[in-house]
Amino acid sequence: MAEADRLETNAVLDGLINRNSTPPRLFDGREPPRADIDRMLEAAMSAPDHGFVRPWRFHIIEGDARDKLGELFARALLEREPFAPTVAIEKEKSRPLRAPTIVAVCAKVDPTRAPKVPVIEQIVAAAAAMEHLVLAAQAMGYGAIVLTGRNAHDPMVRKAFDLAGEDELLGFVYVGCISEPTPAKERPDAAEFTSVWS
């Protein structure tokens, strides 16, 4: 391996090992340019994908569209809890305003590809794409975090994202510019989760 390749590999590895989700309070309000979001999506395209089903779908929500998403969350809450207090409704409306850009990542599965490509494997592929997106955002110097909550599994929200059957809304990736570094966390020892077969 050439020295330059090795150095780049180490930079990638360092990025992976030191990755941390960004608490939304650290977003400084500046919106990532669309070209940068497109680059993150380009990175998502190289996720491992059994049978090349391409089960991932991305919805970019930024600017005023975030209010539309907040309204959807509020309507979904009222459907679940018709007597939800105003404060809870307002909280749902403001959720998407925590970041300048949200990418909703969905798994749109094709059950006819099973059993060769089971639905769970299609969902895993879309989840891998979501993680590629997060890693790319952070490699580009942005803050990012995956959030779901009840909205990701709510029937009204699912319908709005054109999801049915075994499709899944995997996460809302909140992306934004940051002016201070994302705090680091202690990570567990991988050995605790690892066994070696003999």
Ligand X SMILES: Cc1cc2nc3c(=O)[nH]c(=O)nc-3n(C[C@H](O)[C@H](O)[C@H](O)COP(=O)(O)O)c2cc1C
Query: Minimum distance between the CB of residue 7 and ligand X, rounded to whole angstroms?
Result: 25
Nearer to ligand X, 21 or 94 (CB): 21
Nearer to ligand X, 33 or 48 (CB): 48
Give the pairing type, strands 101-107 and 56-62.
Answer: antiparallel
Tokens of 120: 């769970």
**Site for ligand X, residues 135 to 154, rule: CB under 6 A:** 145-149
**Site for ligand X, residues 99 to 138, rule: CB under 6 A:** none
Query: Minimum distance between the CB of residue 83 and ligand X, rounded to whole angstroms?
Result: 24
Nearer to ligand X, 55 or 171 (CB): 171
Query: Minimum distance between the CB of residue 108 and ligand X, rounded to whole angstroms?
Result: 16
Nearer to ligand X, 3 or 192 (CB): 192
Q: List Cβ neighbours of 162 (8 Å cut-off, separation of 6 or more).
A: 57, 106, 108
Tokens of 71: 């309204």
Binding mask 163-192 for ligand X (x = CB under 6 A): -------xx-------------x-------
Nearer to ligand X, 12 or 16 (CB): 16
Q: Is 69 one of the binding residues for ligand X (CB under 6 A)?
A: no
Residues touching ligand X: how many (CB under 6 A)? 10
179 burial class (0-12, 13-18, 19+ CB within 10 angstroms)? exposed
Q: List Cβ neighbours of 20 (8 Å cut-off, separation of 6 or more).
A: 182, 183, 184, 185
Cβ pair 48, 94 in contact under 8 A: no
SS3 62: strand
Binding mask 19-38 for ligand X (x = CB under 6 A): -xx-----------------
SS3 178: strand
Phi, psi of 70 (to 5 degrees): -60, -40
Tokens of 52: 């090349």
Which residues in this chain contact ligand X in the complex, by CB under 6 A? Answer: 20-21, 145-149, 170-171, 185
